Structures are given as structure tokens and as C-alpha cells.
Amino acid sequence: MKQYVISVKVENRFGVLARVAGLFSARGYNIDSLAVSATEQEDVSVMTIVVRGDDRVIEQVKKQLNKLIDVIKVSDHTCVPTVERELVLVKVTAPPVKRPEIYQLGEIFRADIADISNKTITLGVKGDPDHINNFIELLKPYGIKELMRTGRVSLLKE
């Protein structure tokens, strides 16, 4: 199944998230990631939804999203030029001998060291999804204890 990125501008009101999410869940679609964000307008939020599906169903979901009274605009970011950012926090096992390597890796990825304990280091990295995927891959051999991604935000390129 193909991955889609859909950006939905909505009224900043309670209940809107449930309405939007409901359209996906009612079709048995699992949302890969969802970021709800403030925008330049105080009363408007934007939801960036990453979801897998097929063209026909996603087309229908987009139309249904447009029908929601609280939805202002739906744009499909799947096949158009965009800038995307995501943040990840990774807690890796880090015995003293491995620490220099991990620091080095972090530097290459412009990670910040968010926390250090006796046995672990927690790093934060921001970037586009590929950047983050690569970072995670390279950390895997050390043993990832915990990981959390924010879900991407996506803006159309000018």
C-alpha cells in the first residue's frame, strides 16, 4: 500500500480531531502519524496526516474531509514538492566504551544530547523523515531502549 501525506486546515475547536480521525478509522485505516499544529492564524490548526491506503479510498477520504463543516482546506502533499520536518527522541544503551561513537554519530546528525544516565544516552534529532530514518538505523546496533517520533509536519514549497 502506498503512503500518503495529507494536510488538513481546520477550525481550532474541540471535537475536530475526532471528526477527522473518525473518517480514517471508519474505513479501517491506521494513521501512521498525525501532527496537530498551530498555524499563523490563531483560530486555525493544521493536521498533517500520514496514512497508507489505495488511491480510490484516499480520494474518497479527502472528499469526506472536505465535507466536514470544521475543515477549511484539504491538500494532498503526497506527490508535490514540500518541506517536511520531524523530531525524534531516542534513548540508547550506552556503556562508557560506546559513548564516544554515539556522540560522534550524534554530531553528524546534528543531534542534541537531551539526557545522560549511567547506562543510557537520549538524543534528539530533527529533520526530514529520511534523515531521521537513517539516524535510527545507525543507532540500532547499540540497542534502542525507547524511541518516539513526533510525526511529520509538511509545508508546500513556494
Partner 1 sequence: MKGADIIVESLKKEKVEYMFGYPGGVVIPIFHALHNAPFKFILTRHEQGAVHAADGYARASGRVGVVIATSGPGATNCVTGIATAHLDSVPLVVFTGQVKREQIGNDAFQEVDSTGITRPITKHNYLVQDIADLSRIIKEAFYIASTGRPGPVLIDVPVDISNGEHRFSYPDTVNIRSYKPVYEGHQGQIRKACHLIETAKRPVIYAGGGVVISNASQELREFVKKTGIPVTTTLLGLGVYPETDPLALEMLGMHGTYYANHAVNESDVLIAVGARFDDRVTGKIAEFIPNAKVIHIDIDPASVSKTVKVDVPIVGDCKYVLAEMNKQIKAPEISAWIEEISVMKRDHPLTYEKNNGTSIKPQYVVEEIYRQTNGEAIICTEVGQNQMWAAQFYKYTEPRTFISSGGLGTMGYGFPAAIGAQLARPDRRVIDIAGDGSIQMNIQELIVAVQHRLPVLIAILNNGFLGMVRQWQQLFWEKRYSHTCIDFAPDFVKLAEAYGAAGFRIEKNEEVAPALRQALDITDRPIILDFRVSREENVYPMVPAGQSFKEIIMRELLA
Q: Which residues bind partner 1 (CB under 8 A)?
A: 11, 14-15, 18-19, 22, 26, 59-60, 63-64, 66-73
Residue 132 dihedral angles phi and psi, to the nearest 5°: -70, -40
**Residue 35 or 65: which CB sits closer to partner 1?**
65
**Residue 52 near residue 29, CB atoms below 8 Å:** yes
Taking the complex as a whole, how short is the minimal distance between the CB of residue 21 and partner 1, in angstroms?
10
**Residue 62 or 126: which CB sits closer to partner 1?**
62
Taking the complex as a whole, how short is the minimal distance between the CB of residue 20 and partner 1, in angstroms?
11
d(CA 137, CA 76): 28
Cell for 47? 493536521
Taking the complex as a whole, how short is the minimal distance between the CB of residue 67 and partner 1, in angstroms?
6
d(CA 30, CA 24): 7
